[in-house]
Structure 1
């Protein structure tokens, strides 16, 4: 068999088409595998898994367990729990699959104008950048970025379409994806608005009649809002519409802003982590504009507008946690790929995209075994005291509620809600009164930490906890982790004999 005959075989063509997808998938798996199984990988997804699990036992978000994330996020984690196992590695694997899908779409969009190598570099850069922005596990953007990337791909395909029918089909598919993304986090709304406007413009440019264009636009809006509308309707039928509306739409506007210095520090951290990405994206945007002809002419305003709308989502909440920047990474790596033109310059910018994230890899990336061991020790210390009694995590990993299967003495299971002063007016209850009620229920065990994660701690609730610990609890375990130490307190009347540990600092929880 000649080489030419072999190259003409369908199997070889399939292999030639599949290898970039396989390579991106393998790289993603290798990059994220060191974190698999770590129960305390990050803070937020611990709550998402807890609420998802409790939903399967009849608990209702916003009513029994409070947060302001869309119910679709918790439904996603509930579905992941149905896969069996611990739920921890399962959500991390599903998150990895979403990263792979998003990276595939990054490659597909870049391939419209660039070669295979720049496309793969952009896809891998996306995977690497997630690690430095608290995207190691199951943050919201890890899931919905895959949906947003699909919508962007649909918009690019709409630029190639000449018939209104084809554009309308792509628009409705994109709006459905973005509607699902909105039910994972509302900050995707600016991107959804931009893509919606883009499809309307494409329909107009393709010669769609005004009356039909208006009908399609209304259908796009309805499709995008359908998932949220279904959630709202379900809560209305259950008699909990007020709870749904307050948590989802009202409470965010009642939060007090962080001090200016805190927000400046947050922005500085994001800029430091993403400096190479933003620089490369800026150069790529300029290069794209310089070569804006033919199909590129249509893609330039699309990609530039998407980038701007992603920044709008980043700034939507008024504070600037680094993981809020995860959606901006998606269009940034695509734009950055256009900076890879030219051998020497392209090589330099390619190295920036791929090597810069390695400088900022967080310490917990390498702490899977320690995380498993530390969590196991805390669960072992807590378990004897929460049989028939509740666990209260004043400050600590909410995964402990999940792993001990303990009852929770408050709707506000996420410690940040009662400890962070910016939340004082945004909970629908007085945090001090809620803290008093929780402590009056006499939890069997309380978890505190050596230092707070949030920049400021509410002094009134902190004082109540300190007083209760001194009066009614004994320190039974101390678990150091990478960034802080967790203290386990048992109720004094449940613990026989003297306190096994004495640590004056622990009596002053942060």
Structure 2
């Protein structure tokens, strides 16, 4: 009788089928997540000649947007991006399965892969979040490292190990904080080489080659921006802006820490049981310890950010899922872990809020239709979440800060003058302003919010729409008939 656990191809097909099943309810929705749709917008802007960090700005790494630009060249539709993300999630789950197989039974390793997919959906990775892509690369790097522990113990490296560190480098080129996970992998490789009896020069050049492989993607990016005279903009986006952002109020930060700890409590508990079980078995302890350290580093990163959001936990999900394999393999009964880690995660994921998913597409279509009709000259300002509206109606964002939270969040820091950018946007006299009510931020940038509020107060019409994202209902007011000639005096006053 054929068993799935005996065929790697069958394992991947099963994981891909599961990923498709739990993610497909959101396929075709362009408004599912605020970050997701911005990645798609930036990718499409790059295909039209915009230069990342100069013509359109964000602080995430360049590879993320190159992925979306490449997909846009194939077909600039949300379904294309979602199919690619589903494939990436399934590949990540397969990598989790392969690593877990080194320390647990085939069946428990498959459950670890399914757990990863379910946890990814629970922590807002059920559509196009960056973690869906960089996690897969990190998992690939981890797999190529742990599968070559014996090679490193002999003081050798091979192309597969170099490729693993290139995967880590590409992950860093999507999300900079992955550098700490990459550093953990690098230190592990160096320690194994050093303990192999290899000479110091031999260890040094091998370690340097692995480090170069990891640094190569960002090194190439830096050199290209240096050559075109925009290295300062790259440095600001990648480094300065991340350290200059304001921290949330202490009370809010503490509340979010406890909320995140509560959300992660279940997978952490079963991972902890799994570690205990694995260390009592005759499994490769070196793999268990590396995955445990990987989880610790990823968890520490979550709580080091200036603000704490649900999707920040995505980097910790792969090692936690791998460690859960120890529970699935060596603790009975298994069903509490399956129900808590997989079942509860799916119950709380946005894609499986079927009522919202059923209403989301027609609601978003109605908004697009109305905005298209009221914006004949394509002068649009999105002042809220649905920034992909620019692409949907064919409008060009006036400012590099097309992601409106960069303009209205009070603790945001981009290196650009937000008030100057809003003055410039309003001087362009947008015909239509799509404003989320209320704006999802606290505190707000009172100066920029006041400018936009004054502008929309003179618009001739307004209409409210309810659309649906992964969090449920979101209310937006569309102000139209704005930017008439009689408003020039008001804008001149602002510009002075």
TM-score, length-normalised on structure 1? Answer: 0.89
Per the TM alignment, residue 466 of structure 1 is displaced from its structure 2 partner at its CA by: 1.2
Match of 2:490 in 1: none
Match of 2:392 in 1: 403
Per the TM alignment, residue 329 of structure 1 is displaced from its structure 2 partner at its CA by: 0.6
Taking the TM superposition and a 5 Å limit, the aligned residue runs for 1:311-350 are: 311-342=299-330, 344-350=332-338
- Tell me the distance in 2 between the aligned counterparts of 1:127 and 1:154: 21
Match of 1:51 in 2: 42
Per the TM alignment, residue 304 of structure 1 is displaced from its structure 2 partner at its CA by: 1.6
Taking the TM superposition and a 5 Å limit, the aligned residue runs for 1:96-135 are: 96-135=86-125
CA pair 343-224 structure 1, distance change in 2 beyond 3 A: closer
Give the one of 36, 57, 60 matched to 2:27: 36
TM-score, length-normalised on structure 2? Answer: 0.91
Give the one of 148, 151, 158 matched to 2:138: 148
Taking the TM superposition and a 5 Å limit, the aligned residue runs for 1:342-381 are: 342=330, 344-362=332-350, 365-366=353-354, 367-381=356-370
Match of 2:411 in 1: 422
- Tell me the distance in 2 between the aligned counterparts of 1:235 and 1:268: 41
Q: Is the contact between residue 386 and residue 444 of structure 1 (CA under 8 Å) also seen in structure 2?
A: yes
Give the one of 168, 184, 193 matched to 1:194: 184
Q: Is the contact between residue 176 and residue 223 of structure 1 (CA under 8 Å) also seen in structure 2?
A: yes
Match of 2:196 in 1: 206
Deviation track 1:443-481 (CA, whole Å, cap 9, x = no partner) reads: 111110122222332222211111111124421453344
Match of 2:429 in 1: 442
- Tell me the distance in 2 between the aligned counterparts of 1:297 and 1:66: 44
Give the one of 356, 371, 374 matched to 1:382: 371
What secondary structure is seen at the aligned counterpart in 1 of 2:433?
strand
CA pair 75-307 structure 1, distance change in 2 beyond 3 A: same
Q: Is the contact between residue 461 and residue 479 of structure 2 (CA under 8 Å) also seen in structure 1?
A: yes
Q: Is the contact between residue 49 and residue 77 of structure 1 (CA under 8 Å) also seen in structure 2?
A: yes
Give the one of 247, 254, 258 matched to 1:268: 258
Q: Which runs of 5+ in 1 are unaligned?
A: 1-6, 496-510
Which is further off, 275-284 or 343-352? Answer: 343-352
CA pair 471-129 structure 1, distance change in 2 beyond 3 A: same
Per the TM alignment, residue 126 of structure 1 is displaced from its structure 2 partner at its CA by: 0.7
Q: How many residues align?
A: 481
Q: Is the contact between residue 19 and residue 117 of structure 2 (CA under 8 Å) also seen in structure 1?
A: yes
- Tell me the distance in 2 between the aligned counterparts of 1:146 and 1:301: 20
- Tell me the distance in 2 between the aligned counterparts of 1:230 and 1:37: 34
CA pair 207-89 structure 1, distance change in 2 beyond 3 A: same
Which is further off, 144-153 or 201-210? Answer: 201-210
- Tell me the distance in 2 between the aligned counterparts of 1:392 and 1:338: 51
Match of 1:469 in 2: 456
- Tell me the distance in 1 between the aligned counterparts of 2:484 and 2:474: 27
- Tell me the distance in 2 between the aligned counterparts of 1:179 and 1:363: 31
Per the TM alignment, residue 262 of structure 1 is displaced from its structure 2 partner at its CA by: 2.0
Per the TM alignment, residue 276 of structure 1 is displaced from its structure 2 partner at its CA by: 1.2
Q: Is the contact between residue 396 and residue 415 of structure 1 (CA under 8 Å) also seen in structure 2?
A: yes
Q: Is the contact between residue 61 and residue 238 of structure 2 (CA under 8 Å) also seen in structure 1?
A: yes
Query: Does residue 73 of structure 2 align to residue 82 of structure 1?
Result: yes
- Tell me the distance in 1 between the aligned counterparts of 2:343 and 2:220: 44
- Tell me the distance in 2 between the aligned counterparts of 1:162 and 1:467: 65
Give the one of 17, 20, 42 matched to 2:11: 20
Match of 1:451 in 2: 438
Q: Which runs of 5+ in 2 are unaligned?
A: 486-496
Match of 1:73 in 2: 64
